[in-house]
Amino acid sequence: MERYNLVVIGGGSGGLVVAAGGSALGARVALAEKHTLPFTSERGTAIRAMGGDCLQYGCVPSKALLAAAKAVHAAREAGRFAIRGVSDPGPQDLGAVMDYVHGAQAHIAPADSVERFEGLGVDVLLGAGRLESAHEVDVNGTIVWGRHVVIATGSRANIPPIPGLEETGYLTNESVWHARNLPGGLLVMGGGPIGTELGQAFARLGSKVTIVSSSSHICPKEDADVAAVLAKRLRSEGVTIHDDSSATKVATREGKKIVTVKPKNGAEFDVAVDEILVATGRRPNLEGLNLEGAGVKFGRRGIEIDAKCRTNVPSIWAIGDVAGPYLFTHWAGYQAGIVLRNTLSPIALASCDVANTPWITYTDPEIAHVGLGEEEAKRKGVPHRVFRASFEHNDRAVCDGTWEDNFAKVLVDPKGKILGAGIVHPHAGDLLGEIVLAKKNGLPLSALASVIHAYPSLSEIHGAVARDYLKTSLTPGRKRILTKLAAFLRR
């Protein structure tokens, strides 16, 4: 039996970081991955790509698709910038767009390939990993022993039990990348990040898109005022949104897929489309791991772990979508670093920093978020104040034509310490980092006012929010002192 310092089950973003990092630190590492995609590198070499959901079905293809859709939208909107000679390009060739998407994947694939990781000294075992004990993992009949076992098997689309859905057929974030014909009508079940991102992309490419969202507004993890900006944009681009609604049944009639939609308040109605995209959440990939046999606790949301990413079995760890609490590539990578420190470092165990984890919805405009939202703070009874700044007064945004409706807001506690923030703007994701850094290091919101932001830049929005806060700290007593000081200096 081969013995390793680390045995990793799953070659997605989290598992790959553990494997590469562990090998770089001198550990002997085995990586089990059951699903690879064939790619041809730019040098013409055939490779087998791992990468999990991120490379194969998630972050990479979706962002490439959004970029293509954004280019089409920019052509339609050229007249807004007084550009002549550009006409509406109309519906796009989805097959050609998917070729672009797959090209982006092929460019990135070598970094996640079996060949690269073998070159790093990792023993890549192609097959599904199954726990045989607290230290033993079976991969296609071969059992390997690990001092530590890391489970990083990810998640997949959650398919709701809607009558007729299986018989009629549907797309998910996995199968959509094989589509070659643009649907004239597309119904998206789910108004979260996946549903809104792909829904907007297909609308811009030329589909008539309907989003059915079971929550009171799309992007339910965001504050209503933030989500409203995105909803307004989507509707302006022809997307129909049904909030507080659910699909109750699906059927086929006269070559169309008929989805019956039931609003929370109101009568059912039918929507006829060419294709359905299911984006109603994710479910952890737990099947086949033999968690019960190894004594590992798990539930509907995934494997139970502590703040150190450790399960109830001391030698077994879990990261990424299979454990949560966040289902982000950057969260899985961050957890991988925590596990490496906790398994290979002699220093005290590290814990995950859940409170300072950012997330971004990559629609246009983007939504960026960290920490407490305003509605969550109210619900939990957390004392807070909210400070906002509109991009209407940001000169760079005005020049770029990205000022309308977009804004940034920051929540602070009674002493001015940052509790959370939300930004809605086409470049919100790039702007969030400064606030995350300040929040993580315990800086007050006022500290952002002392940063010299280049002019004109979108980052000036942080100074604008901070100045809004500073105005409230100018009490009547302080105003009198400053007035007297100014009068003295004029003498």
Three-class DSSP category at 191: coil
Closest by CA position to 219, among listed 236, 196, 250? 196
Structure tokens at 424: 């809605």
Average pLDDT over residues 194-203: 98
pLDDT level of residue 53 (50, 70, 90 thresholds): very high
Does the pLDDT value for residue 280 go beyond 90? yes
What are the chain's domains?
2-156+283-354 (3.50.50.60), 165-281 (3.50.50.60), 365-473 (3.30.390.30)
Structure tokens at 301: 């949301």
**Residue 484: what pLDDT?**
67
Structure tokens at 299: 């539930």
Average pLDDT over residues 143-172: 98
pLDDT tens digits along 405-421: 999 999 999 999 999 99
**Single-letter code of the amino acid located at 262:** K
**Residue 59: what pLDDT?**
94
Burial of residue 477 (number of CB atoms within 10 Å: 0-12, 13-18, 19+): exposed
Scan for tokens 């489309």, then name that residue.
Answer: 273
**3-state secondary structure labels for all residues of 307-335:** CCCECCCCCEEECHHHCCCCCCHHHHHHH
Does the pLDDT value for residue 485 go beyond 80? no
Question: What CA–CA distance (Å, rounded) separates 154 from 316?
Answer: 16
pLDDT level of residue 40 (50, 70, 90 thresholds): confident
Average pLDDT over residues 469-485: 72
pLDDT level of residue 364 (50, 70, 90 thresholds): very high
pLDDT tens digits along 123-151: 999 999 999 999 999 999 999 999 999 99
Does the pLDDT value for residue 209 go beyond 90? yes
Number of H helices, E strands in the chain: 15, 25
Average pLDDT over residues 163-175: 97
Average pLDDT over residues 215-240: 98
Question: What CA–CA distance (Å, rounded) separates 481 from 487?
Answer: 10
Give the torsion through C-alpha atoms of 42, 125, 127, 113, to 10 deg. -10
Does the pLDDT value for residue 482 go beyond 60? no
pLDDT tens digits along 91-112: 999 999 999 999 999 999 999 9
pLDDT level of residue 86 (50, 70, 90 thresholds): confident
Looking from the CA of 144 toward its CB, the CA atoms found within 13 Å total 26
Does the pLDDT value for residue 189 go beyond 60? yes
Query: Using omega within 30 degrees of 0 as the cis cutoff, is the peptide bond preceding 163 cis?
Result: no
Average pLDDT over residues 173-181: 97
Q: Which residues contact 273 (CB under 8 A, 6 or more apart)?
A: 183, 185, 186, 187, 208, 210, 256, 257, 259
Q: Provide, rounded to the nearest whole percent, the portion of the chain with pLDDT above 90.
A: 92
pLDDT tens digits along 310-330: 999 999 999 999 999 999 999
Q: Identify the DSSP state of 232.
A: H
**Residue 478: what pLDDT?**
63
Question: What CA–CA distance (Å, rounded) separates 154 from 324?
Answer: 9
Structure tokens at 70: 């954004």
Q: Which residues contact 248 (CB under 8 A, 6 or more apart)?
A: 162, 163, 260, 261, 262, 268
Does the pLDDT value for residue 83 go beyond 60? yes
pLDDT tens digits along 433-442: 999 999 999 9
Average pLDDT over residues 441-462: 96
Q: Please, are residues 344 and 17 in contact by the beta-carbon 8 Å criterion?
A: no
